[in-house]
């Protein structure tokens, strides 16, 4: 398999692992996005980071096209058994690196 195809396969697997759709029956569903790092690395061999400019574009798209829920709103829907709004999405971060606060926030 050519190297470029291997990279595409790794990226595809990473994206599939990073995106989860929480389907809760009567509560509807909510797309849960998992980000790891938002940083402008010269090298990211594990493909764990998104560049700040790309992240900004992704968030702008999500805000325009989806109902971005806060953790509190997501939790309330679960606890109170309230149906998620259509096209709901929850944005989450893995680990809590400083760039999550200094760049992503």
Across-strand partners of 20?
32
Residue 20 has pLDDT above 80, yes or no: no
Cα torsion through 17, 8, 58, 95, rounded to 10: 40
Q: What is the pLDDT of residues 63-75, one digit of tens each?
A: 999 999 999 999 9
Cross-strand bridge partners of residue 34: 92
pTM over cut 0.75:
no
**Whole-angstrom distance, CA of residue 77 vs CA of residue 28:** 10
- Span 28-62, pLDDT tens digits: 788 888 898 898 888 887 878 889 999 999 999 99
Structure-token pair, residue 37: 């790092």
- 37, 50 contact by CB (below 8 A): yes
């Amino acid at each position: 398999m050519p190297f470029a195809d291997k990279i595409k396969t790794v990226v595809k697997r990473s994206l599939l692992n990073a995106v989860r759709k929480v389907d809760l029956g009567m509560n509807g569903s909510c797309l849960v996005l998992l980000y790891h790092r938002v940083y402008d690395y010269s090298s990211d061999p594990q493909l764990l980071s998104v560049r700040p400019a790309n992240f900004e574009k992704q968030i702008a798209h999500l805000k325009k096209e989806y109902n971005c829920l806060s953790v509190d709103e997501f939790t309330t829907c679960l606890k109170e058994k309230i149906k998620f709004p259509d096209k709901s999405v929850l944005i989450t971060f893995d680990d809590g690196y400083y760039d999550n606060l200094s760049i992503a926030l």
